[in-house]
Structure 1
């Protein structure tokens, strides 16, 4: 709730306070240019909001395409855990292992809704058919059978409509309180109507990365290099797995949202037998700090670029 309040406050409430700030007037030409820039910024923000609607639909189409054209392989179920309920049916987080397109045995989590739980289809040791994406990386794979459904998001439509009305209403309010008979010459580079969508674009971009593109596939490997999130699909499809070692780790003293940043030193062998040494930093939840330790680890890396890798300490799964 606190996050939602901050999000709403900085996007829609905080800019209103600046209506009381004295205005620096600009020339008609500058004001008109700023008006056009402002409209463009607000439209960009509105377009980004619409991605919360179009994104899941696009993902569904991509999954169906891979389901039709992907390479079928058998994936073994290692473990599963309950992940809540969706429309009365249990949602499950399933740990799979399968041979990827590079011939390596990789692990990942698959989230699905079990509509026939009585059949016990997803017990450890059983296999399911998955389809690997041979023409891209998004998604890296999908289930061989089953429906990829997207949940309706009516609140996004309300947000979209509100954002458009707010854009117009905020401009009219600014015009009413700040124009003083000079038209829209109240617009200047510091006008809250101009920088409000800039704040919004940054906030929505963050939300899209964390919420908007949630897929049914999630990472098994806990520790990740900076670029592995972006290239996760390629890493899962073409990555090589190997044994590695966490040589050292230590907190950097930096905290993000009260969560500590940790620096890791990792060694692993590539497919040519060369010893690769990597250092990287990652934010670790306070609740997970006690799980960190030096020693053996599972590593998956991309042969074309060993800076793209993920690590899982060997002590637990």
Structure 2
């Protein structure tokens, strides 16, 4: 995982920083005359400022604002969270850190959600006292549910410590400072080098001031798309922690034609009654491993969870 992060980070750095500058310098046609009219040049300048402004806001928001918001949310849960007793149904040791005698573990917890429907959820964290074996299967722990389901995290352990990763914050700060230095350096260097008393009339779309920003923006948008579609599914988690459960009848199961890493996406059409007695027909899509494909139910009844405010939104927490 670390290798992939380093690889894609280096790949991103190359195509967003030296590559646009290298291409421009290799193909640049030296001229002392302005390349565009004043109106066009200021249009390009405004476009570049919008791009870089969005990029700066994106990184500051993701690296700092969300972190502080999550910390404040966790403090709020510690004060106002709804207590539940959870049973540990699964345990996996991810890594042992001998320097601090600490385990990185993944556990599966079973507990009632905000609507008192029993759910299971995985969480990964650092166990600072592994010798106490507090998280062995069958043990019980106290959790606190977030009453505000629009904010993450949706729950925490009742004795969970809230603290910043100082080294992580320092690295994030260095990254943002370097990003700002690079952006300001681009504008300063090329203005001094190419303005020739004509202001910003040297700007073109392929100029590094603009093209470097466009390349970075593309990677930012692709990152948001990938994370939003494949890594985080807040809609399902909200249903899991605040939804109601029901028994649904399977109407049909079919493949959508979409595959992710050669794993097919299935579409389930089900009918069920909500807690008010109203009948609904809903559709649910899920990526299924080829190894589990044969065990997917095609007919009969299946347990679902649904949003009581919008019963068309459902999820199937246990499919196999």
Q: Which TM class, normalised by the smaller chain length?
A: 0.7 to 0.9
Structure 2 matches for 1:84-233, cutoff 5 A?
Answer: 84-85=95-96, 87-138=100-151, 139-151=153-165, 152-153=167-168, 154-175=170-191, 178-179=194-195, 182-204=198-220, 207=223, 229-233=233-237
Deviations 1:20-78 (A, max 9, x none): 35598222243234324423432331232223133223212211111111111111211
Q: Distance in 2 between matches of 1:119 and 1:229?
A: 34
Change (3 A) 1:165 1:303: same
Work out which of the two has the higher radius of gyration on C-alpha atoms and give 1 or 2: 2
Contact 2:304 2:317 in 1 (8 A): yes
The question of whether the paired residues in 2 share the 8 Å contact of 1:251 and 1:260 is answered with no
- Contact 2:282–2:314 (Cα < 8 Å) also in 1: no
Q: 1 or 2 for the larger relative contact order (CA 8 Å, sep ≥6)?
A: 1
Do the aligned residues in 1 keep the contact of 2:105 with 2:124 (CA within 8 Å)? yes
CA–CA distance in 1 between the matches of 2:101 and 2:256? 43
Verify the 8 A CA contact 2:36 2:202 in the aligned structure 1: yes
Q: CA RMSD in A?
A: 3.3
Aligned residues: 296
Q: Corresponding residue for 1:35?
A: 45
Task: Name the residue aligned to 1:274.
Answer: 279
Quote the residue 2:15 is aligned against: 10
Q: What SS does the aligned partner of 2:136 have?
A: coil
Gaps spanning 5+ residues in structure 1: where?
A: 214-223
CA offsets, 1:200-219, max 9 Å, x none? 234335556878x9xxxxxx
- What is the rounded CA distance, in whole Å, between the counterparts of 1:21 and 1:306 in structure 2? 59
Check conservation: 2:113, 2:119, Cα contact below 8 A.
yes
Cα deviation, residue 120, structure 1: 1.8
CA contact (8 A) 1:15 1:196 kept: yes
| Aligned with 1:239 (options 223, 238, 243) | 243
Distance 2:182 2:160 in 1: 41
Is contact 2:284–2:314 with CA below 8 Å preserved after alignment?
no
Contact 1:270 / 1:276 at 8 angstroms: preserved in 2? Answer: no
Q: Distance in 2 between matches of 1:78 and 1:125?
A: 6
2:82 paired residue number: 71
What TM-score, normalized to structure 2?
0.77
